[in-house]
């Protein structure tokens, strides 16, 4: 298959990241992005991981180019609070390698913990990750090296993903990308995959490759091509979220380079300090609580932290948890939520977008895309996704919380499902 004319459907963060990647790496290809004028983007997605920097460097974007336009702050660590037991405190997961990388010394810490169980869990990160000294004092370290920490490779960003998509649109994609604001209302299929898209405005769009960035709808890959969806609901408990923003009450203390995940009765709450406000949301399972009760629990949590919440609006999101069996079928490939989603813990949503884009664009270095390319791509994406899903599921499986049915079921869940079939 020769690909010169690429059609992207969806103007969320994944749509504009896809357009940016192709514009930067293959400027001679013709790119069209079709976006609905009335279907909203998912409107969340604020915490990235360090691999995001590799994508920024691939598409030649510097920190100072986008940060102030996207409400961004730096992120050095992910903090897990009360995942082990109620009031068990926090565990830090800083980026970078431990210092020194010496198994014996790391093992000695476990002996310390066994002999002195009162040693706080935070002592591990404080002992082996020098960057924690900066994090604990709320400082941003931009020097070259601090032990094994390197600012250029070991930081990520907390930002407004919607603003980031729009920034990419306005600063990199337009006017090179043909941008059409209209709804895809009909999709014609033939033996090669998608033959054409019919739009609300009367246009009929043909192309060589169709990239589905339509979010949880998965309009092209899921609906039109009928590609099977494999749910992760038996290893990942959550399927809903309430999301909002709160204002800083003490910005000096609260604007930190830390994405915090706090376990509650039926899930966990994210706290992501952006430059001007804090992004927060409750990820839960509607098998164990109702949306109404979850909102009450979430508001109670925010009030406990003295956030003023009355004037804020809360959005409720249904998450489709799992991945399509194949992400590249005939001339259709899905990127972003349309491909799949695990849940926000460990900030893996945008990670799959840029990681899969880097796999995808590698095959465009050759002129012709073959079935072998598709098979390798599908294998690589599924493998990456499944590994992440298992990693995320461990956060629930390895805790000791048994205070609610939700947590007891996490402890007793059967984790031997074969997700590689
Ligand atoms: P969307 O934003 O849903 O965009 C879909 C696009 O398709 C829209 O432009 C829509 O108009 C268009 N569309 C739909 N139907 C049609 C049609 N018929 N015709 C034309 N256009 C159409 N990721 C992270 O990396 N970090 C996080 O902290 C994080 N937190 C998250 C929290 C939650 C609760 C959720 C649900 C997700 C989170 N994510 C996170 C994932 C992240 O939000 C997404 O990966 C990212 O926003 C990309 O979304 P998208 O572009 O794939 O889909």
Ligand 1 atom with least separation from CA of 350: 25
Residue 418 pLDDT: 62
Distance CA 221, CA 194 (A): 10
Helix (H) or strand (E) holding 284: strand 278-284
Residue 417 pLDDT: 64
In sequence order, which ranges of 116-250 are alpha helices (DSSP H)? Answer: 122-128, 131-136, 161-168
Cβ burial of 389 (10 Å; 0-12, 13-18, 19+) is buried
Q: Is 267 left (phi over 0), alpha (psi -120 to 50) or beta?
A: left
Q: What is the DSSP letter of 220?
A: I
Q: Is residue 349 in contact with ligand 1, taking CB distance under 6 Å? A: yes
Residue 99 pLDDT: 82
Distance CA 337, CA 43 (A): 12
Backbone angles phi, psi at 46, to 5 degrees: -125, -10
Backbone angles phi, psi at 65, to 5 degrees: -65, -45
Residues 6+ apart with CB under 8 A from 277: 71, 245, 246, 247, 248
Which regions in the chain score pLDDT beneath 70? 103, 311-312, 417-421
Residue 226 pLDDT: 98
Residue 312 pLDDT: 65
Cα distance from N-terminal residue to C-terminal residue, the chain:
27
pLDDT in tens, 213-248: 999 999 999 999 999 999 998 899 999 999 999 999
Cis peptide before 100 (omega within 30 of 0): yes
Residue 404 pLDDT: 97
Distance CA 229, CA 392 (A): 19
Q: Is residue 166 in contact with ligand 1, taking CB distance under 6 Å? A: no
Ligand 1 atom with least separation from CA of 46: 28
Please answer whether residues 282 and 343 qualify as being in contact, where contact means their C-beta atoms are separated by less than 8 angstroms: no
Please answer whether residues 268 and 243 qualify as being in contact, where contact means their C-beta atoms are separated by less than 8 angstroms: no
Q: Is residue 217 in contact with ligand 1, taking CB distance under 6 Å? A: yes
Residue 101 pLDDT: 72
Q: Is residue 279 in contact with ligand 1, taking CB distance under 6 Å? A: no
Query: Helix axis angle, 405-412 relative to 371-397, nearest 10°?
Result: 120
Closest CA to 389 of 322, 317, 339: 322
From 8, 39, 52, 357, give the residue whose CB has the most ligand 1 atoms within 8 Å, as the site to mutate: 39
In sequence order, which ranges of 305-404 are alpha helices (DSSP H)? Answer: 349-363, 371-397
Task: Report long-range pairs for 63-66 (Cβ below 8 Å, ≥24 apart).
Answer: 63/157, 65/171, 66/159, 66/164, 66/167, 66/171
Residue 399 pLDDT: 87
Cα-Cα-Cα-Cα torsion 317, 280, 400, 322, nearest 10 degrees, comes to 30
Please answer whether residues 88 and 403 qualify as being in contact, where contact means their C-beta atoms are separated by less than 8 angstroms: no
Q: Is residue 32 in contact with ligand 1, taking CB distance under 6 Å? A: no
Q: Is residue 160 in contact with ligand 1, taking CB distance under 6 Å? A: no
């Amino acid at each position: 298959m020769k690909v010169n004319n690429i059609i992207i459907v969806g103007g969320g963060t994944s749509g504009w990241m896809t357009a940016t990647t192709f514009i930067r790496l293959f400027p001679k290809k013709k790119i069209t992005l079709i976006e609905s004028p009335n279907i909203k983007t998912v409107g969340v997605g604020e915490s990235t991981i360090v691999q995001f920097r590799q994508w920024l460097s691939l598409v030649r974007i510097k920190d100072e180019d986008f940060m102030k336009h996207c409400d961004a702050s730096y992120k050095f660590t992910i903090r897990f609070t009360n995942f082990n037991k109620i009031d068990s405190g926090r565990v830090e997961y800083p980026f970078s390698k431990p210092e020194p990388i010496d198994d014996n010394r790391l093992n000695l810490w476990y002996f310390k913990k066994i002999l002195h169980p009162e040693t706080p869990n935070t002592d591990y990160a404080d002992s082996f990750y020098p960057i924690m000294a900066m994090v604990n004092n709320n400082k941003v370290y931009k020097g070259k090296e601090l032990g094994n920490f390197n600012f250029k490779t070991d930081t990520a960003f907390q930002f407004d993903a919607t603003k980031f998509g729009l920034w990419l649109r306005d600063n990199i994609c337009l006017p090179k990308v043909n941008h059409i604001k209209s709804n895809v209302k009909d999709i014609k299929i033939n033996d090669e995959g998608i033959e054409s898209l019919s739009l609300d405005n009367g246009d009929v769009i043909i192309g060589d490759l169709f990239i589905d960035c339509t979010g949880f709808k998965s309009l092209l890959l899921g609906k039109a091509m009928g590609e099977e969806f494999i749910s992760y609901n038996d290893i990942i408990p959550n399927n809903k979220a309430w999301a909002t923003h709160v204002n800083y009450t003490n910005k000096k203390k609260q604007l930190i380079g830390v994405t915090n995940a706090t376990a509650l009765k039926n899930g966990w709450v994210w706290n992501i300090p952006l430059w001007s406000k804090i992004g927060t949301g409750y990820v839960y399972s509607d098998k164990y609580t109702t949306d109404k009760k979850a909102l009450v629990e979430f508001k109670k949590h925010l009030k406990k932290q003295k956030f003023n919440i009355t004037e804020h609006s809360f959005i409720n999101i249904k998450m489709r948890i799992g991945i399509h069996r194949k992400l590249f079928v005939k001339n259709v490939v899905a990127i972003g939520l349309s491909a799949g989603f695990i849940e926000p813990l460990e900030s893996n949503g945008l990670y799959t977008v840029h990681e899969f884009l880097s796999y995808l664009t590698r095959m465009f270095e050759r002129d012709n895309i073959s079935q072998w390319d598709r098979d390798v791509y599908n294998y690589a994406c599924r493998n990456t996704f499944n590994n992440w899903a298992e990693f995320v599921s461990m956060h629930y499986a390895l805790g000791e919380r048994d205070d609610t049915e939700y947590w007891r079921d996490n402890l007793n869940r059967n984790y031997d499902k074969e997700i590689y079939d």
